[in-house]
């Protein structure tokens, strides 16, 4: 459950923070030489192996790790000037806006084994590639029955409305920055997105803030399916949680990259640069890839599977962050889903 917290040391004296904290933890150094403050959208259980591995290489660094949502991370840095040394997020568009609007410090890393599209302006650095997937309940779908693309999904929902009424989950894009990113990318890739939203609206789709909550409800049979779920989280939960399976849509599957930047409020810039370097070597650490369940960047995968659509850095990511464009998109989304 989310809690409202206070970061007095990170904000102006006496100021009340407005962004919500999901979790916080400090990883103390045996002999503290410096403190590295990280704000991130990656769940503690997922990202802890990375933090411990970094600390093993930098034993004098105490790590203060704060978990929040994608929109709240934007609020913390963009609106409140919260003091963090590294910001890690799955919302590539919001990270791009932070960098574009002067809220990120540039850094030129050492030679890295990553494609050119994995960095932007020496301010944004990608280190994972994670698909948005369909998660379906084993209780609702037998072997070979689940839809493989959006047209099949629309047809199944239309043909059996009584079966799926109230049993569909997706992001509330008004609350989730990652959900908004996936929805806008869907709308750019296919007109089927709006048809799908209208069908979901007629079937009283349930809206969520987070992938993990949707996955849990699918696994426990409260949902028949969840759309645009973060695939890395689904794969991680599938290890210990039976009752669902994961589908990468064959018409197209959006693939986002988790990105890191150094906020303009950085105090420990040397430590932040060391963390950026460490994250850029993530694809060379199979132990961490296995421990976290976060897939590393692998350009070859896009060549072998043409349905994968990597979301690329650039001005195009800022289009739907324009206030008027965002308001228009949300009005259409609310109308399609019949939300107030």
Please say if the pLDDT value at position 117 is more than 80.
no
Find out whether 129 and 257 touch, Cβ atoms under 8 Å. yes
DSSP of 131-143? EEEEEEETTT--T
CA 55 to chain centre: 24
Q: Which residues, at least 6 apart from 230, have a Cβ–Cβ distance to it below 8 Å?
A: 90, 130, 132, 133, 178, 211
Please say if the pLDDT value at position 118 is more than 60.
yes
Find out whether 271 and 328 touch, Cβ atoms under 8 Å. no
Residues 29-72 pLDDT 10s: 989 999 999 999 999 989 999 999 999 999 999 999 999 999 99
What was the pLDDT predicted at 23? 93
Does residue 330 or residue 315 have the better pLDDT?
330
Find out whether 334 and 197 touch, Cβ atoms under 8 Å. no
Find out whether 310 and 302 touch, Cβ atoms under 8 Å. yes
Q: Which residues, at least 6 apart from 331, have a Cβ–Cβ distance to it below 8 Å?
A: none
Residues 165 and 108: their CA atoms lie apart, in Å, by 52
Packing angle of the helix pair 231-240, 44-57 (nearest 10 deg): 100
Packing angle of the helix pair 323-337, 192-202 (nearest 10 deg): 50
Mean pLDDT of 201-221: 94
Please say if the pLDDT value at position 234 is more than 60.
yes
Fold classification of 130-255+319-337 (topology level): D-Maltodextrin-Binding Protein; domain 2 (3.40.190)
Does residue 168 or residue 7 have the better pLDDT?
168
Three-state DSSP state, 180: helix
What was the pLDDT predicted at 323? 93
Tokens coding 276: 């950026």
What single-letter DSSP state applies at residue 236? H
Q: Of 39-43, 285-289, 313-317, which range is least confident? A: 313-317
What was the pLDDT predicted at 8? 37
Does residue 314 or residue 286 have the better pLDDT?
286
Residues 260-273 pLDDT 10s: 999 999 999 999 99
Three-state DSSP state, 335: helix
Confidence of residue 17 (pLDDT cuts 50, 70, 90): low
How far the first Cα of the chain sits from its last, in Å, is: 24
To the nearest whole percent, how much of the chain has pLDDT over 90? 77
What single-letter DSSP state applies at residue 124? E
Q: Where in the chain is the domain with CATH 3.40.190.10?
A: 8-128+257-297, 130-255+319-337
Confidence of residue 340 (pLDDT cuts 50, 70, 90): low
To the nearest whole percent, how much of the chain has pLDDT over 70? 94
Find out whether 7 and 82 touch, Cβ atoms under 8 Å. yes
Fold classification of 8-128+257-297 (topology level): D-Maltodextrin-Binding Protein; domain 2 (3.40.190)
Please say if the pLDDT value at position 212 is more than 50.
yes
Please say if the pLDDT value at position 210 is more than 90.
no
Q: What's the predicted TM-score (pTM) here?
A: 0.85
């Amino acid at each position: 459950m989310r809690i409202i917290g206070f970061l007095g040391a990170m904000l102006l004296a006496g100021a009340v923070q407005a962004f919500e904290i999901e979790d916080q933890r400090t990883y103390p150094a045996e002999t503290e030489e410096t403190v590295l403050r990280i704000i991130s959208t990656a769940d503690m259980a997922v990202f802890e192996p990375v933090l411990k591995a970094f600390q093993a290489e930098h034993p004098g660094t105490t790590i203060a790790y704060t978990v929040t949502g994608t929109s709240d991370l934007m609020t913390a840095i963009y609106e409140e000037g919260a003091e963090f040394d590294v910001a890690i997020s799955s919302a590539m568009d919001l990270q791009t806006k932070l960098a574009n609007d002067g809220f990120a410090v540039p850094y030129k890393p050492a030679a890295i084994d990553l494609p050119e599209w994995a960095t932007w302006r020496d301010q944004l650095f990608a280190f994972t590639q994670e698909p948005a997937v369909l998660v379906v309940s084993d209780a609702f779908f037998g072997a070979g029955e689940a839809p493989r693309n959006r047209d099949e999904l629309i047809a199944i929902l239309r043909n059996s409305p009584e079966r799926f009424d109230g049993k569909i989950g997706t992001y509330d894009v008004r609350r989730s920055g990652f959900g908004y990113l996936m929805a806008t990318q869907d709308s750019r890739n296919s007109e089927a997105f709006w048809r799908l939203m209208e069908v979901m609206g007629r079937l009283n789709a349930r809206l969520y803030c987070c992938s993990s909550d949707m996955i849990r409800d699918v696994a426990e049979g409260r949902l028949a399916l969840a759309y645009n779920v973060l695939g890395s989280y689904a794969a991680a939960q599938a290890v210990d949680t039976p009752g669902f399976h994961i589908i990468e849509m064959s018409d197209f599957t959006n693939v986002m990259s988790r990105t890191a930047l150094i906020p303009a409020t950085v105090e420990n810039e040397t430590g932040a640069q060391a963390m950026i370097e460490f994250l850029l070597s993530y694809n060379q650490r199979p132990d961490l890839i296995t421990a976290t369940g976060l897939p590393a960047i692998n350009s070859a995968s896009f060549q072998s599977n043409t349905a994968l659509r990597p979301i690329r850095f650039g001005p195009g990511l800022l289009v739907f962050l324009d206030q008027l464009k965002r308001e228009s998109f949300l009005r259409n989304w609310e109308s399609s889903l019949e939300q107030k």
